[in-house]
């Protein structure tokens, strides 16, 4: 089934979602802007999640297979139930994202651009 070329709407995706124009165009929430900037700059983020804080390397921002705005990231540390490894986190589950000033220099092993994890990609390494 082909993907609808129309951009998703804020009403369909909650308060964290604004116009998903690629490369920073359009109206972005502060959360969207922080994540996009971190992806572009290979900056480590500290996320406030329901199951506790997590430190991640963000690799992609787009829509998951349920059509929800999501972050594809590599979790490097967590105080909650999460273990290190690849995660797809819905933006509505992120309470806060803070730039830690840490950097990563290359995508994690196993990362493949446009691998289908996100059905629409708005930002990626």
Q: Which residues pair with 89 in a beta bridge?
A: 71
pLDDT the model gives residue 21: 42
- pTM for this one? 0.77
Which sequence spans correspond to the domains of the chain?
Answer: 10-124
pLDDT the model gives residue 80: 67
Q: pLDDT tens digits, the chain, 125 residues: what are they?
A: 333 333 333 333 333 333 344 433 446 799 999 999 999 999 999 999 988 899 999 999 999 999 999 999 999 987 766 789 999 999 999 999 999 999 999 999 999 999 999 999 999 99
pLDDT the model gives residue 42: 98
**68, 87, 72, 75: which is closest to 123 by C-alpha?**
72
**Alpha-carbon distances, residue 48 vs 98, 111, 121 (angstroms):** 9, 23, 23
């Amino acid at each position: 089934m082909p993907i609808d070329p129309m951009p998703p709407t804020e009403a369909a995706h909650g308060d964290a979602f604004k116009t998903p124009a690629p490369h920073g165009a359009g109206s972005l929430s502060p959360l969207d802007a922080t994540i996009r900037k971190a992806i572009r700059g290979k900056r480590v983020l500290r996320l406030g999640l329901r199951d506790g804080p997590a430190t991640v390397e963000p690799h992609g921002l787009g829509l998951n297979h349920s059509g929800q705005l999501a972050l594809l990231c590599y979790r490097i540390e967590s105080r909650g139930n999460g273990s290190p490894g690849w995660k797809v986190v819905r933006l509505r589950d992120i309470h806060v994202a803070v730039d830690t000033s840490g950097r990563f220099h290359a995508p994690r092993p196993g990362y493949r651009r446009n691998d289908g994890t996100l059905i629409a990609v708005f930002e990626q390494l």
